[in-house]
């Protein structure tokens, strides 16, 4: 699911894109004694992810937060504004390549928040790498994304080497003697499920695979109900997790349904329905956005008349890092890439210190994994899961 072969870009065309991307748009200011200063204007920050489709609930809160950060920046820089350029992948790698090519071909796009999902990252990031366009993902957690030698890659949260063992620790904490594991075969879902299985060991009595856009889960439901498992872990996204959970409950399964951050969105609640989703658990390498630091929560609610959702605080901080670079006069992709390489500050909303190693990963000391429980039609923060 959400994986596809990456088509190469012709060398001549790519060279043109890279040269175009290096350009900056500057506005002259009056100088002194025959000199002039210049400031960066009209640049764009790309936001890349599923803004429509069945998994948009995981991404749209981050897009809202990015919009908020830019609006606040522009209010203070009215004569020299920045804009957000949206790239709606629908979470599908087959769309990601064309969107990435479009982004690198726009000289004003100097940084990307995203891609939001791991599968689309595997498709888009090689294109971004060749063009030198820096990316910071707020939610793509597959560990191997950091192993491709992409200098442009940065991750704003912990990866599944943290989330997988944490999800397993949660399952152990509810004394589940038998666990069934299902994944959707996506880059994210399969990788996370593998980490959970490693951490649970012999507690896993059976496992199975779902497919992209699957709607009939009757065969898997039969296996689960006959396995004796009192907990089920699902690695994947809401689009398939929701009908799967509904069919599990219709089939009489009473066990605890646990998933990763791929199901931690509003759609998992509303589409599944309160009766079936009640008591489901989601883990996420993110603290509750509703308790973020500073004025972020009140600013978000004032702007959107809603509580900030999954990864909103993370996306806000990552967007502000780009804005900080632009505000300091960083006018090219290379400038901003260098800025990120030496960055070492705490985000105003998350409190996380954003400092990346040579592979683009955060310091493990900054990583937190939380559990959330579906209660009365909402995701209720449960607890921070202790590190193994």
Per-residue pLDDT of the chain (388 residues; tens, 9 = 90+): 344 333 333 443 444 444 444 444 444 443 333 333 456 789 999 999 999 999 999 999 999 999 999 999 999 999 999 999 999 999 999 999 999 999 999 999 999 999 999 999 999 999 999 999 999 999 999 999 999 999 999 999 999 999 999 999 999 999 999 999 999 999 999 999 999 999 999 999 999 999 999 999 999 999 999 999 999 999 999 999 999 999 999 999 999 999 999 999 999 999 999 999 999 999 999 999 999 999 999 999 999 999 999 999 999 999 999 999 999 999 899 999 999 999 999 999 999 999 999 999 999 999 999 999 999 999 999 999 987 6
User: Could you give the CA distance from residue 208 to residue 59 in angstroms, rounded to a whole number?
Assistant: 27
Domain match, 249 and 321 both: no
Domain match, 172 and 263 both: yes
Say which CATH number the domain at 72 has.
3.40.50.2300
Task: Report the DSSP pairing between strands 281-284 and 370-375.
Answer: antiparallel
Domain match, 205 and 342 both: no
Question: What sections of the chain are H helices per DSSP?
Answer: 11-21, 60-76, 93-104, 118-131, 160-173, 187-200, 218-227, 238-250, 266-272, 274-277, 296-304, 312-327, 333-341
Domain match, 299 and 375 both: no
For residue 79, the model assigns a pLDDT of: 92
User: Could you give the CA distance from residue 156 to residue 360 in angstroms, rounded to a whole number?
Assistant: 9
Domain match, 122 and 55 both: yes
For residue 55, the model assigns a pLDDT of: 92
The DSSP code sequence of 285-332 is SS--GGG-STTHHHHHHHHHSS---TTHHHHHHHHHHHHHHHHTT--S
Residue 221 lies in a domain: yes
Collapsing DSSP states into helix, strand and coil, what is residue 74?
A: helix
Residue 14 lies in a domain: no
Residue 36 lies in a domain: no
Domain match, 377 and 249 both: yes
Domain match, 58 and 139 both: yes
Domain match, 324 and 236 both: no
Residue 132 lies in a domain: yes
Residue 23 lies in a domain: no
For residue 388, the model assigns a pLDDT of: 63
Domain match, 318 and 271 both: no
Are residues 241 and 266 in contact, defined by beta-carbon separation less than 8 angstroms?
Answer: no
Q: How many domains does the chain have?
A: 2
Domain match, 178 and 313 both: no
Domain match, 184 and 169 both: yes
Residue 35 lies in a domain: no
Residue 294 lies in a domain: yes
User: In which domain, by residue range, is 326 found?
Assistant: 43-158+290-354
Residue 22 lies in a domain: no
Domain match, 82 and 140 both: yes
User: Could you give the CA distance from residue 114 to residue 96 in angstroms, rounded to a whole number?
Assistant: 11
User: How much is the CA Rg of the chain, to the nearest whole Å?
Assistant: 21
């Amino acid at each position: 699911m959400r994986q596809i072969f990456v088509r190469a870009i012709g060398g001549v065309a790519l060279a043109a894109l890279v040269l175009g991307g290096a350009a900056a748009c500057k506005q002259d200011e009056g100088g002194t004694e025959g000199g002039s200063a210049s400031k960066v204007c009209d640049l764009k920050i790309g936001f890349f992810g599923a803004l429509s489709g069945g998994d948009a609930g995981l991404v749209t809160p981050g897009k809202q937060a990015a919009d908020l950060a830019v609006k606040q920046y522009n209010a203070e820089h009215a004569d020299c504004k920045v804009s957000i350029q949206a790239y709606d992948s629908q979470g599908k790698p087959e769309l990601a390549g064309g969107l990435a090519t479009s982004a690198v071909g726009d000289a004003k796009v100097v940084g990307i928040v995203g891609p939001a999902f791991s599968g689309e990252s595997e498709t888009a990031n090689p294109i971004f790498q060749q063009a030198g366009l820096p990316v910071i993902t707020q939610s793509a957690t597959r560990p191997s994304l950091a192993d491709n030698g992409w200098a442009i890659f940065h991750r704003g949260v912990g990866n599944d080497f943290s989330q997988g063992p944490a999800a397993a620790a949660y399952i152990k904490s509810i004394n589940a003697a038998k666990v069934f594991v299902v994944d959707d075969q996506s880059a994210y879902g399969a990788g996370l499920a593998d980490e959970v299985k490693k951490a649970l060991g012999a507690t896993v009595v059976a496992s199975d695979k779902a497919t992209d856009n699957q709607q009939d889960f009757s065969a898997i439901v039969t296996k689960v109900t006959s396995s004796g498992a009192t907990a089920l872990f699902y690695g994947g996204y809401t689009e398939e997790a929701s009908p799967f959970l509904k069919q599990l409950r219709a089939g009489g399964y009473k066990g605890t349904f646990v998933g990763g951050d791929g199901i931690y969105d509003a759609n998992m609640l509303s589409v599944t329905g309160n009766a079936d989703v009640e008591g489901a658990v989601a883990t996420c390498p993110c603290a509750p956005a509703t308790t973020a630091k500073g004025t972020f929560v009140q600013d978000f609610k004032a702007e959107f008349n809603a509580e900030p959702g999954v990864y909103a605080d993370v996306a806000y901080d990552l967007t502000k890092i780009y804005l900080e670079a632009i505000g300091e006069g960083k006018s090219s992709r290379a400038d901003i890439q260098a800025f990120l390489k030496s960055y070492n500050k705490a985000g105003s909303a998350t409190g996380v210190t954003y400092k990346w190693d040579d592979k683009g990963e955060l310091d493990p000391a900054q990583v937190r994994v939380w559990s959330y429980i579906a209660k009365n039609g909402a995701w209720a923060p449960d607890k921070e899961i202790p590190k193994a």
